[in-house]
Amino acid sequence: MFTPTIQSKLPQVGTTIFSVMSNLAHQHQAINLGQGFPDYPMSEELISKVNEVMQKGWNQYVPMQGYLPLQEALAEKIAELYGAAISADEQITITPGGTYAIYTALTTVLQPGDEVIVFEPAYDSYIPNIEINGAVPVLIDLQFPDYKINWHAVREKINSKTKMIMLNSPHNPTGAVLSEADMQQLQDIVRDTQIMILSDEVYEHLIFDNIQHQSVLRYPELMERSFVCFSFGKTYHCTGWKLGYCIAAPQLMAEFRKVHQFNCFCCHTPSQVALASFLKNKEAYTSLGAMMQQKRDDFKTLLSSSRFDLLHSSGSYFVTAGYSRISDEGDKDFAIRLTREYGVATIPVSSFYKNGTDNKVIRFCFAKKNETLEAAAERLRRV
């Protein structure tokens, strides 16, 4: 009899909290404000375009780095938004989602024993992606409750093994955003070092209160050492498309593509062809911040008479909330009870800390139809 003996590459990893909470939501028919995905429809026009290009026969492989007109449309958009001159052909690779772009960038760069600075709470794929490459995550807590980076702590953690610093702005799960001063600090810290940057900017357009997104693409000195990752799923309300892209300097991108070509080769052709023309519709992404800001504000108003204490969110799909006026349970127990007893699923923020730091905070996703937010709030006000 065959007895499988796999030495786990990720011995400490269980099932991602997003699946756990979505399954629990399903089981209890709860309103799902946990996993981050919109419940409102995506653009009909974009759906029609995909349909149309499939009918026209765009159903075979595109080049492994992507469909050139899409790369060109992205380069044009980036020049306009961030003033960066990016080579469509050499510096942009279309990937099956932002998560894949992040994993591929880490795998391209990391050797066993390398250290990567990660700010926690951190999106849950980062640390396993580092560890599967034999590298070591060096963890720094964002300062609770405004979740700012302590740059002094960053300086203290840097040593000859530091290979990379990972950034995420707008930030999941907290909605914190990096400022120009943060970017200057980063620039000063990495100057005269060989440290690279991985910048996760999947929520680039979901930014509120007229704050300008501080993309690494705005900073040529940072850009030469960075991989910047994006997701069409977030921008076009189609998380299930799992399509994104990575931008890096030509030499870095050449190495990225060596990994990418034997893992994925190329991404879904019809979506890329449709997006190449849909990207010309600037309104579709410039209107996003205001739309999502309205949802943030509506949700906050709906919960104003509840016993949840909402923290500030400047971007993303998410807002975090303390519940100390309700319970002193751990956040995982509380989130499970909220799903079972009140029918609202959320994400416990301790899941975004390797050591499970529990500040008694849960994350709500407000990228939902008004009626969903209203129905959820009605339940949450009873807690």
Which residues contact residue 286 at a Cβ distance below 8 angstroms, ignoring those fewer than 6 apart?
Answer: 205
Binding-site partner at residue 35 among ligand PMP, ligand GLN, none, CB < 5 to 8 Å by type: ligand GLN
- Length of the chain, please? 383
Max Cα distance, the chain (Å): 64
Amino acid at 24: L
Of the candidates 200, 208, 202, 201, the one whose C-alpha atom is nearest the C-alpha of residue 289 is 208
Of the candidates 142, 325, 323, the one whose C-alpha atom is nearest the C-alpha of residue 333 is 323
Determine, following the binding rule CB under 6 A, whether residue 239 of this chain makes contact with ligand PMP. yes
Determine, following the binding rule CB under 6 A, whether residue 233 of this chain makes contact with ligand PMP. yes
State in angstroms the smallest separation of the CB of 98 from ligand GLN.
8
* Contact mark string toward ligand PMP, 81..120, x via CB under 6 A: ----------------xxx---------------------
Pair 46, 274: CB distance under 8 Å: yes
Per CB under 6 A, the list member of 70, 88, 202, 292 interacting with ligand PMP is: 202
* Residues engaged in binding ligand GLN (CB under 6 A): 16, 18, 35-36, 172
Binding-site partner at residue 98 among ligand PMP, ligand GLN, none, CB < 5 to 8 Å by type: ligand PMP
State in angstroms the smallest separation of the CB of 160 from ligand GLN.
34
Nearer CB in complex with ligand PMP: 244/289: 244
Nearer CB in complex with ligand PMP: 62/166: 166
Which residues contact residue 108 at a Cβ distance below 8 angstroms, ignoring those fewer than 6 apart?
Answer: 227, 252, 255, 256, 258, 259
Cα–chain center distance at 7: 30
CB atoms within 10 A of CB 192: 7
Nearer CB in complex with ligand GLN: 35/133: 35
Binding-site partner at residue 296 among ligand PMP, ligand GLN, none, CB < 5 to 8 Å by type: none
Nearer CB in complex with ligand PMP: 20/377: 20
State in angstroms the smallest separation of the CB of 318 from ligand GLN.
7
| Segments of 185-264 assigned E as strands | 196-200, 226-231, 244-248
Pair 296, 312: CB distance under 8 Å: no
State in angstroms the smallest separation of the CB of 314 from ligand GLN.
17
Determine, following the binding rule CB under 6 A, whether residue 231 of this chain makes contact with ligand PMP. yes
Q: Pairing mode, if any, of strands 361-365 and 318-322?
A: antiparallel
CA distance 254 to 252: 5
Binding site for ligand PMP (CB under 6 A): 36, 97-99, 123, 168, 172, 200, 202, 231, 233, 239, 242, 244
